[in-house]
């Protein structure tokens, strides 16, 4: 199995979801005084590249530690969504054989906007119909290279809820 790290580096000045405090990284221990180095990290659980558990939006949903470790590894397919400016349709997903995959990764190209004010608006997301289709496949998870699986104006978080109710995890900010 080939492993590819798609995570962003945790830094104090990294982009965070609007309204969320940026992480704080404080030097807590130094070699000269303590004999070792250690940093104190303070941040929200949805900072940087992160995983949404069902409990994020589903009452009595599973927490990440409720899943066996094998739920977080598996085969993935990358679906190129770079031509879509808003809604990623079911028809695109159906062009791919998803029968042997555990994770679907949507490549929107939005990661190129990481660190800019444009990162937080205008990114594409699945339609509800496309999300229902992925949920029906009983995948382990969905990954996206943008701030959320829902459009920013979707304050009902319908895509999150469709996927999370099927115990799929979401990996955001890839």
User: For the chain, give me the number of helices (H) and strands (E)?
Assistant: 4, 9
Q: How confident is the model over 47-68, as a mean pLDDT?
A: 97
Query: What does the pLDDT read at residue 3?
Result: 81
Query: What does the pLDDT read at residue 72?
Result: 95
Q: Has residue 2 got a pLDDT over 90?
A: no
User: Each residue of 123-164: pLDDT tens digit?
Assistant: 999 999 999 999 999 999 999 999 999 999 999 999 999 999
> CA 170 to CA 160: how far, in whole Å?
8
User: Each residue of 60-117: pLDDT tens digit?
Assistant: 999 999 999 999 999 999 999 999 989 999 999 999 999 999 999 999 999 999 999 8
Average pLDDT, the chain: 96
Query: What does the pLDDT read at residue 53?
Result: 97
> CA 115 to CA 128: how far, in whole Å?
28
Query: What one-character DSSP code corresponds to residue 165?
Result: T
Beta strand pairing call for 103-107 and 76-80: parallel
């Amino acid at each position: 199995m080939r492993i590819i790290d798609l995570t962003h580096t945790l830094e104090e000045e990294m982009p965070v979801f609007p309204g969320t405090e940026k992480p704080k990284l404080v030097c807590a221990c130094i070699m000269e005084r303590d004999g070792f180095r250690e940093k104190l990290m303070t941040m929200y659980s949805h900072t940087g590249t992160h995983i949404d558990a069902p409990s994020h939006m589903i009452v009595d949903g599973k927490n990440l530690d409720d899943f066996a470790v094998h739920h977080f590894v598996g085969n993935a397919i990358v679906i190129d969504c770079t031509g879509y400016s808003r809604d990623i349709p079911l028809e695109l997903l159906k062009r791919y054989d998803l029968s042997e995959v555990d994770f679907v990764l949507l490549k929107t190209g939005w990661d190129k906007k990481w660190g800019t004010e444009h990162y937080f608006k205008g990114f594409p997301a699945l339609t509800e119909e496309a999300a229902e289709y992925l949920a029906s496949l009983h995948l382990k998870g969905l990954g996206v290279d943008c701030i959320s699986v829902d459009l920013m104006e979707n304050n009902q978080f319908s895509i999150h809820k469709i996927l999370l109710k099927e115990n799929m995890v979401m990996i955001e900010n890839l």
